[in-house]
Chains A and B, each alone.
Chain A
């Protein structure tokens, strides 16, 4: 456990209404400006790397949307031509121009439709591909990161990277980008057209549009603030919700419902207020934009009408102007929508890129050394000048030590809690790398092995027996995905689980339900054992793996162990003397050091700690 350098008085850290939440180290963290810039650069780099493989498609989508906008913008222009040139000509008896105008307008409509459909499909494809790519990257990366990372980052945060953050990005890609591109193009296009149609009138319109810049700036700043508020508050609501659902037994048994409801009420109202404020900001913005748009329409109309009346402007040009003006202001509302999804997507990208930037402490070598073929009887495990501490700023857990476990030997680790037994076990399974020195498997450094070889050779079973959704058989087959049903059953039989599995409604095909909720803790542990036996590793590491078993099941597992362990290397941490006594060798660990080492019978005859423990427990027998 880490102790923050400067504990702060809780009252200063959290508002009274939230005092139940307590204080955590991260509350005291702050992101400085330089770090903020780095984060932005990092998320831009991520975005580039996601888009780079699909640049051809991105350019294609851009071309489609530009063409689509050109085609769409030509509409009012054609109408202007029809009124100014087509009608007078038709009145004079020549309908050709008019006919062309009608055909042209219809064609531009069809072209816009086809182009936009094409754009929707292309950009949809890009968006979905980016999301899929990113999902897989996050998944693989999170799986590759070491346990020490997962222990400090917490599961909730990894899960929200994959769910709400991805959703935010998907939303932006799905509609936001289309809208923004279309809006920007249409604003630029319309401006250009109006300038070309009639310079003075366009100048009037552009001057009128100056306040827009200020309104937009105000809005972007405010919407960024409201976005921060909503996203921070929704996270708290989600956290409260998930924790309640996962701890429902305790919630109900301890009547926490009313308390929970008042907590959720507070969080929920906070979230609601943030949403309401966000809506109000949008309300003010759209009013501002629409007001500016409509007033400039009136002004343009006035100026235009006097000029048409004075004969210095064509009627058709004025008509086109009034049509374009409304189109000019319409996309601005879409930009309001875009601002929000952009803020949330940027924040999401920042968090995702932060996760992807994490380097695994324990990494797979680029050029792994192949593990020699296994001779019968397991593999040797050797610690060479090994020292371990969890982090550079934490104390040494295991001072430098050497230890050789010959192939086929079963070693029991004994010692008080916190002595470092589990740490030794985790080093063998390469959940961590030693700080100095090395752990060798058949003479090869674990860190030089490929993950496939390592996991094939070394399997660790802990007292946490996580079951995945799916059937009993699927959960056991995790030990060896290619296993046949017969192999699965044989492994289960070997650990004494066959009978209870068969008694389940659908036997091996029974769904274990959420986290194995259908099974008792003992049953889950049996399944975890079956999994390990099926995996058939050369080195088996058992960390308190029998703690939830009842005595008869444990006996069966133990008998199975004795035969299974005969031709493999094993490291066992167990409470029970019976388990320890099947070992060839016992290591007594205290304060990170191996203080006794020998065959159980020899140690009992000595006058050391193991002998004392053994005697004490013998005396305590009923």
Chain B
């Protein structure tokens, strides 16, 4: 990353820095004040050594010592103020950026989330923002303050003795040059390491989540090799960073020391020929020692600036991703008399970045209160089609409408209130059963949650959980069986009494007994709502009033199950073979 992009990236922090700039400036002022105190102390010490000590006159000594003490106390107070002032703003910037990122991610379309590994998103939300906090609290302020201190210190040095000033300057310049050279190399390595950490985290995640498959095939070692290779690559990058650091540190140590040695040389010879006082030399060396930290730190601070620039760039990569599924400028209200008629009108869909259309003109009218089963060969786009109703994705052609209103003209909140979904794979959060069913929808009473659980045949097992509705389930709670999970997901879909229910093959994980129970209960719910149910089994299809068959991106047949069985050979092939094959065994 070159200087311009580094600055450009850091500038993107400004919306978050602006509200806290008062305290930032205050903190920088405190640093400066502490530096001034720190610089002044050696000057007073020089006065003591050259004045009372040299003259063996102890008269003014108490005042000068008191001055040193006062300056020292001032410096310490300023140390405190600097951190105290920055504590609030730096953590606030971090927290706000994280909250905004989270809010943005929740609005980004599912197609975005399918592309991004959650580890990569997490590292942006956590470690990149920690970098930002450190920058705001330390490196950013010191970058400004240390530059000022360097200039001030140099000035003081020239005032003390022009010779000593020149010597210090000559030794400081190469340091800044080396630092900035190193900065650019280091930035590349840092970015590489950050990305490698992300990849490694992904492998770890998969090794744990896919543990059953790995065990079943005994391929733990196979993935282990990939993991080891990635870990070794990361180590190699980190070692490269260490080597660069070692060189930089060497330069940082040797150059100021050379400066002090040169001062010693010129200074002591100055004393010998009478052109300089001992106090001046001591003060010069003290000031030079004092300037070591600001000089040393320039390289490190530039590296930090680079690191934060990388972090900010990574952050904005996500923040800049367009939210493609948004509320319309002027949302239309749903007709009050709405009954939940769903219409697919010439619907076309291609995944973002692909020209291949999955849906090529789907026409289907789902009448209010009707249940339509959607069948079709594997990969025919059934799930994609159902996702279009609550706008998890938007059509690329044609329209989907609910009660005559294009879903894209409705406020998202309205749309998703009338349309509820259940997915093939139930998603549970580590929260109470109540929270998982109501999902935080305002105004859902325990009674409503219970009704929904009853419908989904889940009330009994929930009551048997150790804390009933309050039991924590999901990742960090009790683990439930697949059937139990799916029944909770179904309860979630029916809890808000939606007008339209979209069920994406929610019964596939259920065993036949439970499936029959859930179906039985669903039948009474489905009577009141419009429903689209993705199905691939005859038993599920039998829930529906009509069946629509999706193939080649179009609806190729619509009718009742028995009609289609009788009339459509493709349908027969899809859902029935011989008499025996149509049956299922109670398990």
Contacts and interface: CB of A to CB of B under 8 A. Distances in A.
B249 A117 contact: yes
Given A112-B253, A154-B476, A261-B106, A298 B467 contact: no
Most B CB within 10 A of own CB, among A7, A24, A95, A295: A24
Nearest to A326: B289
Nearest to A86: B268
A20 B431 contact: yes
B585 A574 contact: yes
5 contacts: A109-B256, A254-B439, A257-B106, A417-B483, A551-B575
B431 A322 contact: no
Nearest to B232: A132
Interface stretch (B8-16, B155-163, B208-216, B302-310): B208-216
Contacts of A143: 207, 211, 214, 220-221, 223-224
B248 to A, nearest CB: 9
B257 A112 contact: yes
Given A21-B431, A520-B378, A163 B201 contact: yes
A108 B258 CA distance: 10
A618 B582 CA distance: 9
Interface stretch (A99-107, A340-348, A378-386): A99-107
A271 interface: yes
Contacts of B367: none
A339 to B, nearest CB: 15
Contacts of B32: none
Nearest to A256: B439
Most B CB within 10 A of own CB, among A22, A415, A459: A22
A284 B80 contact: yes
Kindly state the interface size class of chain A when it binds its partner: 35 or more
Contact of B220 (A144, A263, A302, A547): A144
B337 to A, nearest CB: 23
A151 B75 CA distance: 56
A621 B378 contact: no
B321 interface: no
A128 to B, nearest CB: 5
Contacts of B508: 521, 547-548
B45 A322 contact: yes
A513 B216 contact: no
A485 interface: no
A204 interface: no
Interface in B503-555: 505, 508-509, 511-514, 536-538, 542
Interface stretch (A41-49, A52-60, A216-224, A243-251): A243-251
Interface in A493-546: 500, 503, 505, 513-515, 517-523, 526, 528, 531, 535
Interface string B143-170: 0000000000000000000000000000
Contact of A290 (B76, B471, B574): B76
Contacts of B56: 309
A144 B208 CA distance: 11
A199 interface: no
Contact of B478 (A1, A158, A234, A282): A1
Interface string B91-126: 110110011001101110010011111100110011
A22 B102 contact: no
Nearest to B482: A463
Contacts of B261: 102, 105-106, 109
B582 A24 contact: no
Contact of A550 (B121, B205, B378): B378
A81 to B, nearest CB: 11
B53 A308 contact: yes
Contacts of B232: 132
A519 B383 CA distance: 11
SS of B interface (majority)? helix
A248 B245 CA distance: 41
A421 interface: yes
A391 interface: no
A65 B435 CA distance: 56
Contacts of A268: 95, 98-99
B585 A613 contact: yes
Contacts of A101: 264, 268
Contacts, number: 552
A243 B440 contact: no
B440 A20 contact: yes
A461 interface: yes
Contacts of B137: 279
A269 B439 contact: no
Contacts of B210: 466-468
A531 B55 CA distance: 93
Contact of A102 (B90, B200, B265): B265
Interface stretch (B81-89, B338-346, B397-405): B81-89
A404 interface: no
A90 B228 contact: no
Interface stretch (B17-25, B422-430, B452-460): B422-430
A578 B261 CA distance: 91
Most B CB within 10 A of own CB, among A4, A19, A245, A258: A245
B46 to A, nearest CB: 10
B219 interface: yes
B585 A250 contact: no
A294 B95 contact: no
A555 B48 CA distance: 99
B569 interface: no
Interface stretch (B180-188, B235-243, B327-335): B235-243
A304 to B, nearest CB: 8
Closest 3 CB pairs of A and B: A294-B72, A455-B218, A109-B257
Nearest to A23: B467
Contacts of B80: 283-284, 286-287
A75 interface: yes
B584 A87 contact: no
Contacts of B103: 257, 261
A7 B466 contact: yes
A563 interface: no
B320 interface: no
B91 A279 contact: yes
